[in-house]
Structure 1
Amino acid sequence: MDFALTKLIVLYKMKWKLRDLYKAFSRRKVVDNTEESTLARVLSTLDLTALGIGSTLGVGAYILAGSVAKKHAGPAVVISFAIAAVASMFAGLCYAEFGARVPRAGSAYIYSYVTIGEFVAFLMGWTLILEYVIGSASVVRALSTYVDVLFNDSMKNFFESVMPINVDSLSSYPDFFALGVTLIFSVALAFGAKESSMVNNIFTLVNLSVVLFVIIAGSLKADINNWKTEPSCTETDCENGEGGFMPYGISGIITGAAACFYGFIGFDCVATTGEEAKNPQRSIPIAIVASLTIVFLAYFGVSVVLTTVLPYYEQNPEAPFPHIFDFIGWEWAKWFVTIGAISGLCASLLGSMFPLPRVIYAMASDGLVFKWMGNINSRFQTPIMGTLSAGLLTGILATIFELDPLVKMMSICTLLTYSIVASCVLILRYEESEAYEKKGDHNPRTFVFIIKQLISANKLNHSTKLTAQIVTVLVCCYILLCICTAILLSMYTTEIAAGKVAFIVLLVIFVIGLVITLSFIYFQPVSGRKLAFSVPFVPFLPGFSILINIYLMMTLDKDTWILFAIWIAIGLGVYFLYGMWHSHIRNQKKWSTSNDKGADFSHIT
């Protein structure tokens, strides 16, 4: 009897602990758009557009087009860029809606905090920190390497002879130039958003001018017949494809599109400026769409010039611009390309470093990371400690690490945040209407009623708590189906291409499941909330964005997933040991319950 009673008490306590844990995980942030920000609102739509272009149109414009043309798509690289641009625009539209809906610093972190809950929000913020740190470190390392090449690797040779590093996965020498550049840029960012955005505008203008020069100058030597040439083949192999506009076929275009997609990563930094934009609900959507459009036009023009001036199989995948100018005899033009590459890398570095302290500031303001990291300097009105500490971490990584394998981690972080933002758009679009919320939830929870509601047979005119819960469950089911579909496509591509019935049938089942799930979501009543900007074709456009992002994540290698898991494990330690207990929402609830003398809620976290 005593044993049974003890067991019941233990189970009761476990129940309350699990309930408390769930409540902590699902705590949501309520954003008051009328509340004044402590950051300075100084950024215009032009500043945000330049920031988006600068962080996206970096070294990819000088390398990616030639590499994809030679290895994957041939002249059809223009189609690959178009597909990648459309996929990126889908993600960009989701960011644009949230930028208008939640104009706060923090990007995907604040979006998931408002929509899903504190635990997922912390993981998003922690993932964003990794994305921007690695992105900044890889860019500054590329800048250092590019400058060093101009001086015949003098820095590399000197430091390797004086301070060699003989450790696997680390750099062969400490790159103090990269450390110095990172610290200089960190100090510049700490001086103020307006000042640093002016520098970024200059870098971006130079970068765009050089890209425009390349397009105009190259078009003077363009020959459309280079889209019809055929490479020489052996009796057994055609290493460079079959020639023509699509030498590698449709599969080559799709593979090229996956590679080109990474050339559009970076626009999401615009969404972190919600508290520094003069009119964020208008500026952020315009800046995201405008920057992605301009970047696509730049990539498209560069791709056309490269493949018409020189056949795709004669491209230099590592330095295509200098190669074509050597080919046409314009050696002086290489200096313009050099200036553009350095300006593009500097703009990318600013674009990568700019959002990092904003994410840290947002998390520190919510109590999820150490408070001192979010302190705002009264003179410059920037999170100066967060900026400098983030810059120091970035500089250390750029100094001692070989970042090639870590660049893939940046991709997995970016694609994960894209997927979460698109999921949040779906959940919030079908949230409970404010008018119905005041009336109370009177929908029955019977099996028949729920099944009928999947096809809107109950004729509900407003979104209710039940319909919002149905959509949340359907979104989770859709994500699981996307994961299954992506695993099938990434691991069994050869079998599907060979026409094996079992794999094709399984793929058809998954695709039908995806379409049916999105259709069920479509039948649910939407929230009546008016927005400054709304994603069109919901739920199909965000749903397609989720599928593309998850597929690209599944194409990454095992080592990338292991490194990402280690970073997440460190983050979980920070959350459970600090963030969970210092959360401002938790402290607000404790304060309100301590002042409620009519009830005892001491067991609630």
Structure 2
Amino acid sequence: MCSRILQVLGRRKKLEDDTETTQLSRCLSVIDLTALGVGSTLGLGAYVLAGAVAKNTAGPAVIISFLVAAVASAFAAICYAEFAARVPKAGSAYVYSYVTVGEFVAFIIGWNLILEYVIGTASVARGMSSYVDALANFTMREKFIEWSPDWDYEFLSEYFDYLSLGVIIVLTVLLSIGVKESTMVNNIFTFFNLVTIGTAIIAGFWHLNFKNWNYTKEEIPEQFKETAGEGGFFPFGFKGVMAGAATCFYGFVGFDCVATTGEEAKNPQKSIPLAILLSLIIIFLAYFGISGVLTLMWPYFDQDPNAPFPYVFEKVEWPVVKWIVTGGAIVALTTSLLGALFPLPRVLYAMASDRILFSRLANINKKTKTPLVATIVSGALAAIMAMLFNLSQLIDMMSIGTLLAYTIVAVCVLILRFEDENQDGRQSEDNSMLGHLFNRPVKTLPTALTSSISSWATVVYSALAVLLCYLVVNYSNLMVEKEAWPIALTAICGILMVIVLIAIGVQPRTSMNLSFKVPWVPFVPALSVIFNVYLMMQLDTNTWIRFAVWMAAGFVIYVFYSIPNSLAGNSSGDNYQLSNVAYTNDAYAEEKPKAEVISKF
């Protein structure tokens, strides 16, 4: 019974040889993909995050926080890039985990990506609405309160946000018209976003004052001393820099939307990895320039955490630049909103194509060549949440799904790199278990045994990473006080993790040729796992409770719909050849003709 359950949960996607067949429009270039990654990421964070982190967490060292966050994001980005080279299909981390780990883990990832993109879209819409409302002296808010029911629920907004509703509806229509049209708008908006940021940075150079990086504690005005730390470049110390990096990491969330375009990108094995890395570099340079100019133009302790650029340019008496930046911020938020909404129907489409979610969501409109039903459902769900809910309590849930997806992708890199892709039954000669663990005598080609060793070692490493991060997050105070048991347990975890990594690293590796591979395996994916798990441990208990409720709803769907209807379960056999990783456009269209992709719109 247990073996049957494990077989069901671990069944994998059957893959065919044709990577080019798709009913989606394959029209996106590297420039389009890079603009999509930049636009979806460089939104509200570019105009808010730098000032907030500088004032409250890191001071002028916010530029170091962004650097640390960029390195951590790069680990996840290059893991995504390798999987984009392996599996150039719509669905992002959902597809990646389905072809490597199994159906149950793939469903968890896909379900959490839905959560991430829905809340991301709704939160950006509410942010843009609040930004516009602030410019109008909160006139819209007063009117919306008059037009809304009189209720007092903590988890709901105090009024219907009709502007957020309208903006998401307009963008949903735009996405439904066609991919090329919507990406053209995204490219234009992203261009204006980068011009706005460039204008702010260049204008800021005329007001740079390095004294703002060197305030002593005695020189800080009295009204700021309680919250300004110790002054200088590192007013909150190393701890503040790392705490700032944890916050800044969320400013890089969004590049993964590029990986959902595998069926719409030209030459996806090369263009998607390149676009992911290019977008991450552009985003880092923008954040680095913004944070540096802001803290050099005006003291970190007197930054406005909600709208730093308008505040600073008002202080230096440049109102024209202030309004240019304000207008650019609205354009940037629109771009970010489009980037947040774009990948959601692609994930729904990919899951529905596999019958993991309801198959009608995989319908492709013949005229626009977009997943029309999935796009409408995505827009409707995000619009309702943006209009009704107070998202301040849900914002952390955006991160938990993203971080879990990043973690699974990094784990999949470790599994795939050492897997026996030929599955030809090569057997190892008898040897001691210790010898097998450290590949003695040396084998140059993976076998079933070496693949199993690397897979189980990856599981052990991941478990140790969870324990280590839990100890560091929850017992760091005891460690500072030199309490023996948490120090000893942390040291043991660290030593065991190093040993496990060595055992993984010495195993024979696959010889598969890819257009892009993660360098320095197993260390880069291992660092990505640690950083992602650490950030997940930083989230509060209420976030984990809400996450559990969302997952419980997903498990109900999985048990009562996905297991009986999954194509992986209805097809013959559960094995596939990793050396020919590919998809057909619509898996179930060939398996069951009655479920062909149709269009009634």
TM-score w.r.t. the length of structure 1 is: 0.92
Report the alpha carbon displacement of residue 466 of structure 1 after superposing the two structures with TM: 0.8
2:593 aligns with: none
1:70 aligns with: 55
Kept in 2, the 8 Å contact 1:433–1:462? The answer is no
Kept in 2, the 8 Å contact 1:449–1:458? The answer is no
Kept in 2, the 8 Å contact 1:55–1:351? The answer is yes
2:80 aligns with: 95
Report the alpha carbon displacement of residue 588 of structure 1 after superposing the two structures with TM: 1.9
Instruction: Tell me how far apart the structure 2 counterparts of residues 591 and 246 of structure 1 sit (CA, whole Å).
Output: 55
CA RMSD in angstroms comes to: 1.8
1:198 aligns with: 184
Write out aligned runs for 1:20-99 (5 A): 20-32=4-16, 34-35=18-19, 36-99=21-84
- Secondary structure of 1:492's aligned partner: helix
- Secondary structure of 1:332's aligned partner: helix
Moved more, 389-398 or 156-165: 156-165
Kept in 2, the 8 Å contact 1:106–1:362? The answer is yes
2:89 aligns with: 104
Is residue 217 of structure 1 aligned with residue 203 of structure 2? yes
Moved more, 334-343 or 545-554: 334-343
Kept in 1, the 8 Å contact 2:418–2:451? The answer is yes
Rg: which structure is higher? Answer: 1
Is residue 472 of structure 1 aligned with residue 460 of structure 2? no
Moved more, 485-494 or 541-550: 485-494
Alignment CA distance shift 1:424-1:203 (3 Å): same
2:477 aligns with: 494
- Aligned residue pairs total 571
2:59 maps to amino acid: G
Report the alpha carbon displacement of residue 590 of structure 1 after superposing the two structures with TM: 8.8
- Secondary structure of 2:160's aligned partner: coil
Kept in 1, the 8 Å contact 2:41–2:251? The answer is yes
Is residue 456 of structure 1 aligned with residue 439 of structure 2? yes
1:551 aligns with: 534
Kept in 1, the 8 Å contact 2:14–2:568? The answer is no
Moved more, 102-111 or 160-169: 160-169
Report the alpha carbon displacement of residue 507 of structure 1 after superposing the two structures with TM: 1.7
Is residue 429 of structure 1 aligned with residue 417 of structure 2? yes
Write out aligned runs for 1:57-456 (5 A): 57-163=42-148, 164-232=150-218, 239-434=227-422, 437-438=423-424, 440-443=425-428, 449-456=432-439
Kept in 2, the 8 Å contact 1:33–1:103? The answer is no
Report the alpha carbon displacement of residue 454 of structure 1 after superposing the two structures with TM: 1.6
Instruction: Tell me how far apart the structure 2 counterparts of residues 451 and 238 of structure 1 sit (CA, whole Å).
Output: 58
Report the alpha carbon displacement of residue 458 of structure 1 after superposing the two structures with TM: 2.4
Moved more, 88-97 or 224-233: 224-233
- Secondary structure of 2:394's aligned partner: helix
Kept in 2, the 8 Å contact 1:96–1:285? The answer is yes
Instruction: Tell me how far apart the structure 2 counterparts of residues 33 and 533 of structure 1 sit (CA, whole Å).
Output: 19
Report the alpha carbon displacement of residue 591 of structure 1 after superposing the two structures with TM: 13
Kept in 2, the 8 Å contact 1:165–1:174? The answer is no
Instruction: Tell me how far apart the structure 2 counterparts of residues 412 and 310 of structure 1 sit (CA, whole Å).
Output: 34
Alignment CA distance shift 1:590-1:216 (3 Å): closer
Instruction: Tell me how far apart the structure 2 counterparts of residues 533 and 283 of structure 1 sit (CA, whole Å).
Output: 10
Instruction: Tell me how far apart the structure 1 counterparts of residues 16 and 184 of structure 2 sit (CA, whole Å).
Output: 30
1:134 maps to amino acid: I
Kept in 1, the 8 Å contact 2:58–2:234? The answer is yes
2:409 maps to amino acid: V
Instruction: Tell me how far apart the structure 2 counterparts of residues 485 and 117 of structure 1 sit (CA, whole Å).
Output: 26
Instruction: Tell me how far apart the structure 1 counterparts of residues 427 and 232 of structure 2 sit (CA, whole Å).
Output: 64
2:228 maps to amino acid: N
Instruction: Tell me how far apart the structure 2 counterparts of residues 454 and 589 of structure 1 sit (CA, whole Å).
Output: 34
Report the alpha carbon displacement of residue 331 of structure 1 after superposing the two structures with TM: 1.3
- Secondary structure of 1:589's aligned partner: coil
Report the alpha carbon displacement of residue 505 of structure 1 after superposing the two structures with TM: 2.2
Kept in 1, the 8 Å contact 2:56–2:227? The answer is no
Instruction: Tell me how far apart the structure 2 counterparts of residues 344 and 255 of structure 1 sit (CA, whole Å).
Output: 26
Alignment CA distance shift 1:33-1:315 (3 Å): farther
Kept in 2, the 8 Å contact 1:58–1:347? The answer is yes
1:602 aligns with: none
Kept in 1, the 8 Å contact 2:118–2:381? The answer is yes
Instruction: Tell me how far apart the structure 1 counterparts of residues 257 and 144 of structure 2 sit (CA, whole Å).
Output: 34
Kept in 1, the 8 Å contact 2:14–2:574? The answer is no
Report the alpha carbon displacement of residue 498 of structure 1 after superposing the two structures with TM: 3.2
Instruction: Tell me how far apart the structure 2 counterparts of residues 420 and 384 of structure 1 sit (CA, whole Å).
Output: 29
Moved more, 139-148 or 83-92: 139-148
Report the alpha carbon displacement of residue 443 of structure 1 after superposing the two structures with TM: 2.9
Is residue 527 of structure 1 aligned with residue 515 of structure 2? no
2:335 maps to amino acid: A
1:307 maps to amino acid: T
Moved more, 498-507 or 378-387: 498-507
2:564 aligns with: 581
1:295 maps to amino acid: I
RCO higher in structure (CA 8 A, sep ≥6):
2
**Superposed CA offset, 1:367-394 (max 9, x none):** 1111111100000000000000110011
Kept in 2, the 8 Å contact 1:132–1:352? The answer is yes
TM-score w.r.t. the length of structure 2 is: 0.93
Instruction: Tell me how far apart the structure 2 counterparts of residues 591 and 132 of structure 1 sit (CA, whole Å).
Output: 31
Report the alpha carbon displacement of residue 231 of structure 1 after superposing the two structures with TM: 3.8
2:320 maps to amino acid: W
- Secondary structure of 2:367's aligned partner: coil
Q: Give unmatched runs, 5+ long, in structure 2.
A: 576-601
Percent of paired sites with the same residue: 49
Kept in 2, the 8 Å contact 1:231–1:313? The answer is no
2:4 maps to amino acid: D
Instruction: Tell me how far apart the structure 2 counterparts of residues 30 and 285 of structure 1 sit (CA, whole Å).
Output: 24
Kept in 1, the 8 Å contact 2:11–2:574? The answer is no
1:324 maps to amino acid: V
